[in-house]
Amino acid sequence: MTTAFDPIKLGDAELKNRIAMAPMTRSRAYGPEQSPTPLMAEYYAQRAGAGLIITEGTQPSVIGQGYPATPGLHNRTQTAAWRQVTDTVHERGGVIFAQLMHTGRVAHPANYAEPLTPVAPSAVRAQGQVFTPGGLRDLVQPRELTPTEITRTIDDFAAAAHNAIEAGFDGVEIHGANGYLLQQFLSSNANARTDEWGGSAANRIRFTVEVTKAVTAAIGASRTGLRISPANPFNDIAEDDPATLYPLLVDALNPLGLAYLHVMETMAPELTHVLRSAWKGVFLLNPATPGSATGPGQLQLIEDGAADVLTFGSRFIANPDLPHRLATGAPLADTDMTKAYGGDAAGYTDYPAL
Ligand SMILES: Cc1cc2nc3c(=O)[nH]c(=O)nc-3n(C[C@H](O)[C@H](O)[C@H](O)COP(=O)(O)O)c2cc1C
């Protein structure tokens, strides 16, 4: 029987176990031009016992940034600075993918390094607020991307993926979840376009498919993963057809031979099983665990064959040696969520291993 502590091949990489660290924004990229710092390298290296680390959401362009102090992968300074992270993780035997996150309309002019208006499939404002250096602010009405800009945005993902490999990452995860740009294209409540990028489900999956193809062309399918969150209402998404749209997306992606599909399960657990069966490659699952964080109770999902790799988010914040604790049944430390975003070593690198 396969357990969470068995190794698995993921594209070109060999994972020592099936416990992955889910992507988590920590807003501490205080290096020049929003680049990673030595503190970030220490944070990730402490967690290298994970079979796979997926980094915090990382913008592929200036306009792709939604939150303060999130790192980028779109210029030389950032690319060079990520090397300290990938080197220290590799020295400790870890495998690390960069998550490429373009937040689209979930953004605020106050968070860009230059004066810009957020962009989205359509000029449809999301209800909600976003952190800025000046505190929580209402989301603004985004500007609709032109077809030329859509093509350029796809190119930005490919260029950032290329930079990720240059920076020493083992691969990239494209962020298609949580109401950010890719899911804005997928969802008819955010995508009101009447051209080939909107309307039918086949048109709404086009952006995600084209970004994925461009990234695989840049770095190879075996180093490319995609994260999706079917029916997740986060960031004012209201999908009206997830049961048809996501299987269509999986069918379109299967021939590419990606390293993995990563499903963040929220409101549609029944769809998880459908996608698990339809997906021909390695299946990562961040299971829905209402009212608590993914923990020891979910390890069984590997034995049941519900997933090939499990991803754990918040537990990894307070438990840098989470796989070891899960393997030995050791107690888990509680996460101080008040220190999740921004700040210094407190609540970041000061959680001890056992
Ligand atoms: C502090 C924090 C930051 C997060 N940032 C991201 C992110 O950048 N990209 C992403 O895809 N998910 C992000 N997530 C969601 C997690 O990857 C994960 O899906 C979620 O925490 C649920 O898993 P858990 O119960 O194991 O924590 C974040 C979650 C937390 C707690």
In 109-204, which ranges are continuous DSSP H helix?
Answer: 147-166, 181-186, 201-204
Range of the domain at 77: 8-339
On whether residue 344 sits in a domain, the answer given is no
CB of 99 closer than 6 angstroms to any ligand 1 atom? yes
Q: Which helix (H) or strand (E) holds 143?
A: strand 143-144
User: Going residue by residue through the chain (354 aa), what tens digit of pLDDT does each one get?
Assistant: 999 999 999 999 999 999 999 999 999 999 999 999 999 999 999 999 999 999 999 999 999 999 999 999 999 999 999 999 999 999 999 999 999 999 999 999 999 988 999 999 999 999 999 999 999 999 999 999 999 999 999 999 999 999 999 999 999 999 999 999 999 999 999 999 999 999 999 999 999 999 999 999 999 999 999 999 999 999 999 999 999 999 999 999 999 999 999 999 999 999 999 999 999 999 999 999 999 999 999 999 999 999 999 999 999 999 999 999 999 999 999 999 999 999 999 999 999 999
DSSP annotation of 240: S
Please name the residues in contact with 210: beta carbons below 8 A apart, sequence gap of 6 or more: 154
Q: Which helix (H) or strand (E) holds 346?
A: none
On whether residue 350 sits in a domain, the answer given is no
Q: Whose CA is nearest to atom 15 of ligand 1?
A: 24
The token pair that represents 142 in the structure block: 């985004």
On whether residue 269 sits in a domain, the answer given is yes
On whether residue 353 sits in a domain, the answer given is no
* Domains identified in the chain, total number: 1
CB of 175 closer than 6 angstroms to any ligand 1 atom? yes
CB of 20 closer than 6 angstroms to any ligand 1 atom? no
What is the phi/psi pair of residue 143, to 5°? -95, 140
Q: What is the CATH number of the domain that holds 315?
A: 3.20.20.70
3-state secondary structure of 77: helix
CB of 288 closer than 6 angstroms to any ligand 1 atom? no
Q: Please give the model's pTM, rounded to 2 decimal places.
A: 0.99
Angle in degrees, CA 13, 15, 19, rounded to 5: 140
On whether residue 33 sits in a domain, the answer given is yes
CA of 294 to the centre of ligand 1 (A): 11
On whether residue 352 sits in a domain, the answer given is no
Q: Which residue has the tokens 């999740």?
A: 340
Which residues are identified as catalytic?
180
CA of 152 to the centre of ligand 1 (A): 28
On whether residue 281 sits in a domain, the answer given is yes
On whether residue 3 sits in a domain, the answer given is no
